[in-house]
């Protein structure tokens, strides 16, 4: 059998044996199933051609150097090279998911564009593989660029639908910068290059003023259509307009909904949270954080977990039954802690408890003011603060609450801190009706991160060290049994 026929038979057999990928001199080209291929030409030195929408590889084959169940390796000629190259078909344990393939394709495109954009730098590494030990997500490409003794950490966000919040990318960028700083002991670490999809730079730029000024970050947008990077000036993007929902608008909604919601409130024992949502022009009733009724456009609705049944279109007995279910299963001493009503929306439950008396978090907080779910918009991104408070001395306080481990908590809180600092500086908090009768201090807001003590993510300290020195953060750790009462076991 001539080499061309042998190669074609071997490749068909290997492809039929299960998932495989193609590697060109060790570099991953893509999964074999995503490539079309053919063998043609000279029987002694046949051509192998592999192609897809994103790849086009043609090599002249000299020999089959390895053939097994796990690998089919070829010695190939490449134009302009004297020594033979190696083209491999490698067996995989499983077929890569479409998302993994997209990320790998993004990594390859990014490597090529980095070679053009940074011709004086050497791309030492670039990966999209997750690193769970160091809390590094596989949703981003991470790399290191070197120029002599100078190093740059690189993190790139691939396009995503829907786009992720900016603080997600910045969280992993800062963790990657810390990882590079710890591992690259040679030379000088110049800073961090952050690459985001076209149109995604505004959100990241808006967060940069919350970081320590000593961290050097260069921001780029990646234009997939032109395969080009554009360096941007964060200062020209970070001054985005922001606005805060006036407190008087929330009161207006409450007044309009009162007569329709009062009959429902009369059936519920215990504290019910009343939450006006100005953005959707509705008012929600929450029982220990879980919504069970709402008012919209003059009508009241009831239902758990979705309040979409009009009241009183159904019987009052049905309403009482559902309220009883909430009181039974959404109770601190409920016997069935696995019941869906007990486990649903734990952060909203925690918020309702903190809102009842914020002094249980810190005696310095003023119990008269605890604005929940405050809606603020900046740079086209909606933000909803868990609780906006003030100390007894008039310092604005931002409370961010988490019932479970959340890696993005520090950067998310930093975004809210920036917004409230700006509104405070411009005198908009009291103009919008917040903290009536209180003389607010001009110093930046204080931030409280509140969570069960064992539920702060291990990276929290690393990320807090990256924040601006003006951002004072207090971590408040609660007992795991916080539903039965708020007991602080950690404050630092």
What is the secondary structure of 71-122 as a DSSP string? EEEEEEE-TT-SS-EEEEEEE-SSPPPHHHHHHHHHHHHHHHHHHHH-TTSE
Q: Are residues 268 and 317 in the same domain?
A: yes
Domain boundary among 183, 204, 237: 237
**Residue 391 maps to which CATH number?**
3.40.1350.10
The dihedrals phi and psi of 468, each to the nearest 5 degrees, come to: -60, 140
Q: Are residues 360 and 481 in the same domain?
A: yes
pLDDT at residue 417 is higher than 80: yes
Q: Are residues 57 and 41 in the same domain?
A: yes
Domain boundary among 91, 111, 133: 91
- What is the average pLDDT across 153-176? 88
pLDDT-derived band at 98, boundaries 50, 70, 90: low
Q: Are residues 288 and 210 in the same domain?
A: no
Task: Report the C-alpha gap between 79 and 77 in whole angstroms.
Answer: 7
The pLDDT mean for the chain works out to: 87
pLDDT-derived band at 241, boundaries 50, 70, 90: low
Q: Are residues 456 and 483 in the same domain?
A: yes
Q: Are residues 14 and 138 in the same domain?
A: no
Any domain includes 245: no
Domain boundary among 91, 122, 139: 91
Q: Are residues 200 and 334 in the same domain?
A: no
Q: Considering only 126-135, 307-316, 366-375, which range has the smallest mean pLDDT? A: 307-316
pLDDT at residue 385 is higher than 90: no
Can you give the residue range of the structural domain that contains 370? Answer: 346-491
Of residues 412 and 112, more confidence is placed in 412
CB 390 within 8 A of CB 398: no
Any domain includes 219: yes
Q: Are residues 369 and 477 in the same domain?
A: yes
Cross-strand partners of 191 = 152
**Residue 69 maps to which CATH number?**
2.70.180.10
Strands 27-31 and 20-24: antiparallel
Any domain includes 183: yes
Task: Report the C-alpha gap between 426 and 280 in whole angstroms.
Answer: 26
The whole-number pLDDT of residue 464 equals: 97
The whole-number pLDDT of residue 166 equals: 85
SS (H, E, C) 417-451: HHHHHHHHHCCHHHHCCCCCCCCCCCCCCEEEEEE
Tally of structural domains, the chain = 4
Any domain includes 333: yes
Q: Are residues 362 and 485 in the same domain?
A: yes
**Residue 135 maps to which CATH number?**
3.40.1350
Any domain includes 243: no
Any domain includes 329: yes
Q: Are residues 356 and 483 in the same domain?
A: yes
Any domain includes 174: yes
Q: Are residues 398 and 276 in the same domain?
A: no
Q: Are residues 77 and 136 in the same domain?
A: no
pLDDT at residue 104 is higher than 80: no
- What is the average pLDDT across 343-369? 94
């Amino acid at each position: 059998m001539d080499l061309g026929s042998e190669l074609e038979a071997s490749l068909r057999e290997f492809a039929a044996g299960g998932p495989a990928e193609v590697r060109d001199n060790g570099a991953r080209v893509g999964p074999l199933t995503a490539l079309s291929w053919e063998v043609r030409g000279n029987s002694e030195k046949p051509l192998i051609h592999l192609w897809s929408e994103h790849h086009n590889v043609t090599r002249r084959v000299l020999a089959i150097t390895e053939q097994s169940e796990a690998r089919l390796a070829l010695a190939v000629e490449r134009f302009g090279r004297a020594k033979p190259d190696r083209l491999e078909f490698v067996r995989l344990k499983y077929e890569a998911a479409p998302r993994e393939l997209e990320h790998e394709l993004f990594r390859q495109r990014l490597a090529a564009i980095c070679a053009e954009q940074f011709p004086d730098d050497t791309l030492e590494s670039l990966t999209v593989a997750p690193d769970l030990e160091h809390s590094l997500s596989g949703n981003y490409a991470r790399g290191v660029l070197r120029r002599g003794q100078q190093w740059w950490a690189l993190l790139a966000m691939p396009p995503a639908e829907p786009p992720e919040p900016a603080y997600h990318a910045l969280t992993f960028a800062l963790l990657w910068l810390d990882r590079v700083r710890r591992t690259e002991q040679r030379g000088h670490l110049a800073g961090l290059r952050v690459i985001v999809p076209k149109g995604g730079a505004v959100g990241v730029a808006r967060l940069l003023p919350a970081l320590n000024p000593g961290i050097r970050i260069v921001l780029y947008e990646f234009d997939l259509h032109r395969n080009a990077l554009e360096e941007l000036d964060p200062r020209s993007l970070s001054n985005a307009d922001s606005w805060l929902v006036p407190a008087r608008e929330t009161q207006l909604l409450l007044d309009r909904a009162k007569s329709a919601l009062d009959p429902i409130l009369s059936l519920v024992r215990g504290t019910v949270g009343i939450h006006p949502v100005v953005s959707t022009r509705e008012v929600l009733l929450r029982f220990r954080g879980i919504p069970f009724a709402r008012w919209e456009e003059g009508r009241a609705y009831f239902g758990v977990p979705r309040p979409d049944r009009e009241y009183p279109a159904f019987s009052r007995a049905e309403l009482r039954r559902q309220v009883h279910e909430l009181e039974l299963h959404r109770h601190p001493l409920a016997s069935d802690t696995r019941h869906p009503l007990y486990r649903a929306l734990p952060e909203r439950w925690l918020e309702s408890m903190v809102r009842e008396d914020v002094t249980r978090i810190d005696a310095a907080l003023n119990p008269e003011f605890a604005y929940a779910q405050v809606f603020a918009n900046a740079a086209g991104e909606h933000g909803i603060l868990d609780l906006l408070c003030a100390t007894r001395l008039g310092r604005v306080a931002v409370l961010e609450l988490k019932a479970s481990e959340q890696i993005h908590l520090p950067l998310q809180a930093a975004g809210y801190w920036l917004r409230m600092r700006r509104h405070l500086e411009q005198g908009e908090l009291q103009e919008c009706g917040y903290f009536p009768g209180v003389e607010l201090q001009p110093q930046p807001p204080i931030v409280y991160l509140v969570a069960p003590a064992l539920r702060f993510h291990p990276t929290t300290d690393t990320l807090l060290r990256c924040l601006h020195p003006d951002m004072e953060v207090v971590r408040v750790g609660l007992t795991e049994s916080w539903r039965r009462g708020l007991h602080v076991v950690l404050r630092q």
